[in-house]
Amino acid sequence: MNPKSYLFLVILGILTGVSYSYIYLIPIIIISFAYFFFSIEKSINQKNSFFIGWIFGTGFFFGSMHWIIFPFLIYEQHLYLSPVVLIIFPVLLGLFFSIPSLFLHNFLKIVNSDCLYFKSFSLSLFFLISELTRSYIFGGLPFNLTAQIWAFNSKFIQIVSFIGVYGLSFLTINWLVILSFLILEKRKSFFAILILLPVFLYNFENFYFKKKSSLINKNINVRVIQPNIPQEDKWNKLKIPIHLEKLINLTNKDLNEKEKYLVVWPEVAIPFYLNEEKELVEYLRKEIKQNVILVAGALKREFSNNDFKIYNSLYLLKKDEFFVYDKRKLVPFGEFVPFRKFLKFTKLTEGSTDFSEGLNKKKIDFKIDDKIFFLEPSICYEAIFQSFVEYKPHLFVNITNDGWFGTTIGPKQHLAASIYRAVEKGSPLIRSANSGISVITNSNGKILKKIDLQKTGYIDVKLSTNNNNTFFMKFKNYALTLPILLLAIISLILDIATKRKKN
């Protein structure tokens, strides 16, 4: 391939990466994949196929995750790292497209070219393995999974409660790959396949009956606060009192004092070690209305011998109760620096001390009018990872600060990944983000109310916790074997039928 062809692959990769965040850009993904596969089919050797995958993958991750550079632009001491991150990050992640490319190159040599559906199935399986590997290796990065194309229309994602987000990814990859090969082979069946998966996904809930949870149906008033505090002002000691006053005012504003509320503030909304600030805790209890149970992000510090550890924590405050959850899944370079002995630069967040991983239970329970609620907490990008707890949560709460990423597609992708947790668990998502996007969804992942990026305000919902016991939470990712086996059988049947029709 000549340099112009490689440049075209990079451009298509970038367009594909951006398109993953917008359902109406699916045609761009299909066309880009078609050219990508065409290039591999025409490649002369394994090395060339590997490089084609790498180039396309580098473009994909540059387009889909270009926002990763923004945290390095906020503070002057990190500016010098921004060019390195912008180049190295997508180049390394691009390798996850190289393995499926190599597979396709070798597979074409041993499989009859008429086996379009089985070829598509096999290639899709390798793309799935690539997504799974990316989601778990070196701590994992399950951003921009193929399933997230459908995230913002809850009708399309109900199948996730059955086969999980990776199951939907596999179905979507297989659909995109088949369509790409149908374009290359100019088959008339393209249009039938084009509408098949969207129609199936949209109507899935009509023939999949979810089992209602054994939990007693309880309604709870929820308020989510979005203070929209600029990242560069967040740690300014002169402005912290103003920020706290803003949060308290949004909490108390027009609150119905006859009913009790769960109010959720974002990640590190209180930039202090709250476990050491007894006066501040009493001040909050005094200033916030008595019918409020507050969930808020803050810091925590623990001393041991001559050392100490700090945590990014979620606190639940009532009149006489005080619960805390410490973040378990830390952001590399944001909350700690990997290989600290060799890498001498400071982490992105405030302070020079790395955060420590939390060890306490991922469960908070509280009472409202003698009704017990179970809350599963998550902080920041913990919500993009699947989690399996030993209890059925009434609520899945995510507090985050996406102010690092401005108005890029980063916050939208973060929200998309979080929505899938609600559907997998069959529990409503309550998400408070400092500068957006804050949402409250039902247990089907439907957004009931939201606050857009760079807006200040709050949203109220009287939320039903009549949740679903999902098939996926019972069988976890073992449920993924169902779509894999089913598509393997269907692919073989279709290829046999196509071959007989030709003969």
Q: What is the pLDDT of residue 41?
A: 83
Distance, in Å, from the CA atom of 34 to the CA atom of 190, rounded to the nearest integer, reads 13
β-strand partners of 375? 364, 395
* pLDDT single digits (tens) 428-467: 999 999 998 999 999 999 999 999 999 999 999 999 887 6
Contact 468, 426 (CB under 8 A): yes
Map 210-255 to HEC letters: CEECCCCCCEEEEEEEECCCCCCCCCCCCCHHHHHHHHHHHHHCCC
SS3 content of the chain, % helix, strand, coil (to 5): 50, 20, 30
Distance, in Å, from the CA atom of 323 to the CA atom of 364, rounded to the nearest integer, reads 7
Residue given tokens 């069988």 in the structure block? 475
* pLDDT single digits (tens) 30-69: 999 999 988 988 887 888 999 999 999 999 999 999 888 8
Q: Is residue 437 reached through a cis peptide bond, with omega within 30 degrees of 0 on the bond before it?
A: yes
Distance, in Å, from the CA atom of 9 to the CA atom of 40, rounded to the nearest integer, reads 11
pLDDT at 217 over 90: no
Domain boundaries, the chain: 3-209+478-502, 212-469
pLDDT at 259 over 60: yes
β-strand partners of 336? 332
Q: What is the pLDDT of residue 390?
A: 87
Q: What is the pLDDT of residue 68?
A: 84
pLDDT at 209 over 60: no
Contact 246, 227 (CB under 8 A): yes
* pLDDT single digits (tens) 78-134: 777 778 888 888 999 999 999 889 888 887 777 766 788 998 999 999 999 999 999
The CATH superfamily of 212-469 is: Carbon-nitrogen hydrolase (3.60.110.10)
Alpha helices by DSSP H, 373-446: 410-425
CB within 8 A of 94, min separation 6: which ones? 53, 54, 55, 56, 57, 58, 59, 60, 61
Grade residue 342 by pLDDT with cuts at 50, 70 and 90. Answer: low
Q: What is the pLDDT of residue 208?
A: 63
Across the chain, what does the average pLDDT equal? 88
- The encoded tokens of residue 119 equal 């070829």
Q: Would you give the distance in Å from CA 205 to the centre of its chain?
A: 23
Grade residue 278 by pLDDT with cuts at 50, 70 and 90. Answer: very high
Contact 361, 228 (CB under 8 A): no
The three-state secondary structure class of 459 is strand
Range with the poorest average pLDDT among 213-227, 251-265, 471-485: 213-227
Range with the poorest average pLDDT among 404-408, 435-439, 484-488: 404-408
